Chains A and B, each alone.
Chain A
Amino acid sequence: MRQKEEKCVVTFRTTAAAMEMERTCKAAGVPGRLIPVPRTITAGCGMCWAAPPSAREAVEELVVAKHLMIDGIYAIIL
């Protein structure tokens, strides 16, 4: 089993919203990747954006600036 560490996790209600998140983060150079939604989170979309905790502020700024359609942002151990 992999070593668990804290992640900043962003959830979505549609796959399209997750795609927009990935595209926007990549364009802005904000780290992270799409992973299956952990069972500790009740989320609409089957995938979520997982970023290092240090990127949380950048992620939140992007969400606001680019009007990204997210469901929630969580700090969880994965």
Chain B
Amino acid sequence: MIYLDNAATTRPKPPGVAEAVTAAMMSWGNCGRGAHEEALASARAVFSVRAKLAALFGCPRADHVCFTPNSTQALNIAISGLLGPGDHVISTDLEHNSVLRPLYRLRQQGAAVDFVPADRRGQIDYADFGHLLRPDTKAVVCTHASNLTGDMIDIGWVGDFCRAHGLLFILDASQTAGVFPIHMEKQHIDVVCFTGHKSLLGPQGTGGLCVREGVDIRPFAVGGTGVQSYLETQPTEYPTRLEAGTLNSHGLAGLDAALDFLEKTGIDSIRAHETALARRFYEAVRQAPGITVYGDHSMTERAPVVTLNIGDYESGEVADELAERFGIATRPGAHCAPRMHRALGTTEQGAVRFSWSYFNTEEETDAAAEAVRILATEN
């Protein structure tokens, strides 16, 4: 099997990740519940992950890194905890449903939401952020990269825009964390929402949000914290403010090992490898008969994703044929990005997404390109 569905979840994980999870399961107690060595081992390791993520995302305070099971929950917490009826929010057509559905729900509750439109090529015009700005605009919520096309949003530009207009900036880093540099302070980002199981190379069930000091997010869930037990309300201090219930410390042990791998390998090396493979694939397939590749591939800075269609061949059938005949795992269909599919005109056909990780090779990439060329020729 050649696995090219790394934008859905990376596979395999780096050496040491599974071992760290197993070791944690066999030895740790519950983080923050008790002060015996087994509980402290868990608490120390969880704090270590906070510190590593704070360093990775340019977040000055490790205690402002809060854990959730995934970025969808992190985005729900940030959006529902910072915005409400009467607020206006700007987002984009590039977004995943993890941003869109919380925003649509917010709109039902009385907020106003506008989307910077993507054109037929999936591109946005940054001037539209300014055109959509209103006196009651409170925040910009956007992705760092489209999960469908790999096209990126210039978050430095968005951060400057938000700072200039006094807006909160909530970033969905699901597709870029661990591959592209993100710096909350330098890029004026108020909340970074991330998932552990994609380009951070950790286990599923890990994720979270890094919050700028002074940004007070209303707690989404309240409950057991191991601290301030006689308080009837959720503690106000981060990270406990946003962490009710037992943390997935076993998963975070794996994420800790994954972050060590990222640090040791270097995200610049990882990005160079992945984007080179994506570029190699793009160049090999783009002129095959009937191929449509989506997104702007003239950009060097793009997530390692190539999404395409072969004539009018249904994307699900293409992916199935790739899997059955060639042993290549890809993702077809709608990709949880309905606005982007509408912009690209692929709502009926869907699209086939190929996505790379650090563990893919040129040989795998070439085999996938050859399979696409064969299908294109046969179509």
**Within the complex, what minimum Cβ distance (angstroms) separates A23 from chain B?**
7
- Please encode chain A, from 22 to 52, with 1 for each CB lying within 8 Å of some chain B CB and 0 for all others: 1100000000001110000000111100000
How far is A18 from B32 in the complex, measured between Cα atoms in Å?
Answer: 9
How far is A16 from B237 in the complex, measured between Cα atoms in Å?
Answer: 10
How far is A23 from B46 in the complex, measured between Cα atoms in Å?
Answer: 12
**Within the complex, what minimum Cβ distance (angstroms) separates A38 from chain B?**
11
* Residue in contact with A45 in the complex, picked from B46, B63, B227, B238, CB distance below 8 Å: B227
- Please encode chain B, from 13 to 47, with 1 for each CB lying within 8 Å of some chain A CB and 0 for all others: 00000000000000000011111000010011011
Please tell me if the beta carbons of A18 and B43 are within 8 angstroms of each other in the complex: yes
Chain B residues with Cβ under 8 A from A47's Cβ?
34-35, 40
Chain A residues with Cβ under 8 A from B35's Cβ?
34-36, 46-47
How far is A49 from B43 in the complex, measured between Cα atoms in Å?
Answer: 14
Say whether A73 faces chain B, with CB atoms less than 8 Å apart.
Answer: no
Please tell me if the beta carbons of B34 and A23 are within 8 angstroms of each other in the complex: no
Max count, chain A CB within 10 A of own CB: residue among B227, B231, B237, B239: B227
Chain A residues with Cβ under 8 A from B240's Cβ?
13-16
Given A17-B237, A45-B227, also A69-B33 (CB < 8 A): no
Given A14-B240, A46-B32, also A20-B63 (CB < 8 A): yes
Which secondary structure characterizes the binding site on chain B?
loop
Chain B residues with Cβ under 8 A from A44's Cβ?
227-228, 231, 235, 237
Say whether A63 faces chain B, with CB atoms less than 8 Å apart.
Answer: no
Say whether A19 faces chain B, with CB atoms less than 8 Å apart.
Answer: yes
How far is A35 from B238 in the complex, measured between Cα atoms in Å?
Answer: 22
Say whether B181 faces chain A, with CB atoms less than 8 Å apart.
Answer: no
Which secondary structure characterizes the binding site on chain A?
mixed
Q: Which residue of B lies closest to A18 (CB)?
A: B43
Chain B residues with Cβ under 8 A from A23's Cβ?
44, 47
How far is A38 from B172 in the complex, measured between Cα atoms in Å?
Answer: 42
Chain B residues with Cβ under 8 A from A18's Cβ?
43
Given A19-B43, A23-B47, A46-B227, also A14-B33 (CB < 8 A): no
Chain A residues with Cβ under 8 A from B34's Cβ?
36, 46-47
Q: Which residue of A lies closest to B39 (CB)?
A: A47
Max count, chain A CB within 10 A of own CB: residue among B33, B35, B235, B240: B35
Which residues 47-64 in B have Cβ within 8 Å of A in the complex? 47, 50, 62-63
Say whether B226 faces chain A, with CB atoms less than 8 Å apart.
Answer: yes
**Within the complex, what minimum Cβ distance (angstroms) separates A15 from chain B?**
4
Q: Which residue of B lies closest to A14 (CB)?
A: B240
**Within the complex, what minimum Cβ distance (angstroms) separates B250 from chain A?**
17
Chain A residues with Cβ under 8 A from B237's Cβ?
13-14, 17, 44, 69
Which A residues contact B (CB, under 8 angstroms)? 12-20, 22-23, 34-36, 44-47, 69
A-B contact pairs, 26 of them (CB 8 A): A13-B227, A13-B235, A13-B237, A13-B240, A14-B239, A14-B240, A15-B31, A15-B32, A16-B63, A16-B239, A16-B240, A17-B63, A17-B237, A19-B43, A19-B44, A19-B47, A20-B63, A34-B40, A36-B34, A44-B227, A45-B226, A46-B32, A46-B34, A46-B35, A46-B226, A46-B229
Which B residues contact A (CB, under 8 angstroms)? 31-35, 40, 43-44, 46-47, 50, 62-63, 226-229, 231, 235, 237-240
Closest 3 CB pairs of A and B: A15-B32, A19-B47, A47-B35
